[in-house]
Amino acid sequence: MEEHIERIIWTEDQILERVSELAFEISTDFKEKTTSLVVIGVATGAFMFLSDLVKKIKLPISVDFVRVESYGFGTESSGKPKISSDVKIDINGKHVILVEDIVDTGNTLFCLISHLESKGVCSVSVCTFLDKPARRKVHFEMVGGGKFYRGFECPDYFVVGYGMDFAELYRNLPYVGVLKPELYN
């Protein structure tokens, strides 16, 4: 699979160092709110990031997943995210950290934050592995004083690895790389 990667942007070591920094920041910010902290991973892309992150958070937490469909087969989002599998944990009155693999247009986050807010959460924070502000189309706001945690700002390339895929492939790469355009064009 390495022959499909144009170049590596973040190595496994760089990723793990940044994840540790994010976990420390979250642990510090939420140390007073530990009885009601729920970390929700956005499946499937965030599974590696979520796993590494929660192992390093030094607080009691609950973990759950939500699944949102917005891509289909290809590289462009439909722009109309749909929740296909909701959280199972009761999040009413809880502080929620939504863990994403990548934030680009903002459509998925806007949908998810609104959905979680409707369930009566105290706050919603977002922890995204990659942020692509150059592609932002929708403005979203945190709820209840929540924060936006960002692993890395990503240039506007089609990236795979560390949980992120193209056509369900490349998720198992331990680094983030740029997929060669001829493979998805």
Residues designated catalytic: 104
Give the gyration radius of the chain's Cα atoms: 16
Find tokens 């599998």 and name the residue.
85
Q: Which helix (H) or strand (E) holds 31?
A: none
Strand partners, 92: none
DSSP type of residue 166: B
Q: What angle do CA 26, 108, 32 make, to 5 degrees?
A: 20
CB distance 65 to 87 below 8 Å: yes
CB distance 105 to 78 below 8 Å: no
